[in-house]
């Protein structure tokens, strides 16, 4: 597509529930990234995919968070047993390659609210 698409735009859930956030990157972009932006903060790195594999998942806060990209295109961020502290905007970005010079294109994010 023309840009990075993220769904849902907003998600409200109850503590303890499971949520999935979807990212559809720009066609042909092999690198995909997830960032989390808490209120009043800049985005923080969660995970980076090169193709189908997670090349770096060091930013995932704990084992309740998991992400997949099975066909090297669409990615899903999965959060189990959600907690109120998980409330944030989850941003997805993609780039043609993952080298420093490559510019990331961001989606509009998914705002997650855990009640």
Partner 1 sequence: AQTVTQSQPEMSVQEAETVTLSCTYDTSESDYYLFWYKQPPSRQMILVIRQEAYKQQNATENRFSVNFQKAAKSFSLKISDSQLGDAAMYFCAYRSAFGSGGSNYKLTFGKGTLLTVNP
3-state SS, residue 92:
strand
Contact with partner 1 (CB under 8 A) among 1, 42, 53, 70: 42
103 binds partner 1 (CB under 8 A): yes
Report the site for partner 1 in 51-80 (rule: CB under 8 A).
55-56
**Residues 75 and 25: beta-carbon distance below 8 Å:** yes
Cβ neighbours of residue 35 closer than 8 Å, sequence gap 6 or more: 43, 44, 45, 46, 90, 91, 92, 93
Based on the shown chain and the rule CB under 8 A, indicate whether residue 98 belongs to the binding site for partner 1: yes
Residue of 86, 101, 98 lying closest to 25 (CA atoms):
98
Q: Is 107 in the site for partner 1 (CB under 8 A)?
A: yes
| List 21, 24, 35, 114, residue binding partner 1 (CB under 8 A) | 35
User: Where do contacts with partner 1 occur on this chain (CB under 8 A)?
Assistant: 31, 33, 35, 40-45, 48, 50, 55-56, 89, 91, 93, 98-101, 103-104, 106-109, 111
């Amino acid at each position: 597509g023309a840009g990075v698409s993220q769904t849902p735009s907003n998600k409200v859930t109850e503590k303890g529930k499971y949520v999935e956030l979807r990212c559809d990157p720009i066609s042909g972009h092999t690198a995909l990234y997830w960032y989390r932006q808490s209120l009043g903060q800049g985005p923080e790195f969660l995970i980076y995919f090169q193709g189908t594999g997670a090349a770096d998942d060091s930013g995932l806060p704990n084992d309740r968070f998991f992400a997949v990209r099975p066909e090297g295109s669409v990615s899903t961020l999965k959060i189990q047993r959600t907690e109120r502290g998980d409330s944030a905007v989850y941003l997805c970005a993609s780039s043609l390659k993952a080298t420093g010079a490559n510019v990331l294109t961001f989606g509009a994010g998914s705002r997650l609210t855990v009640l």
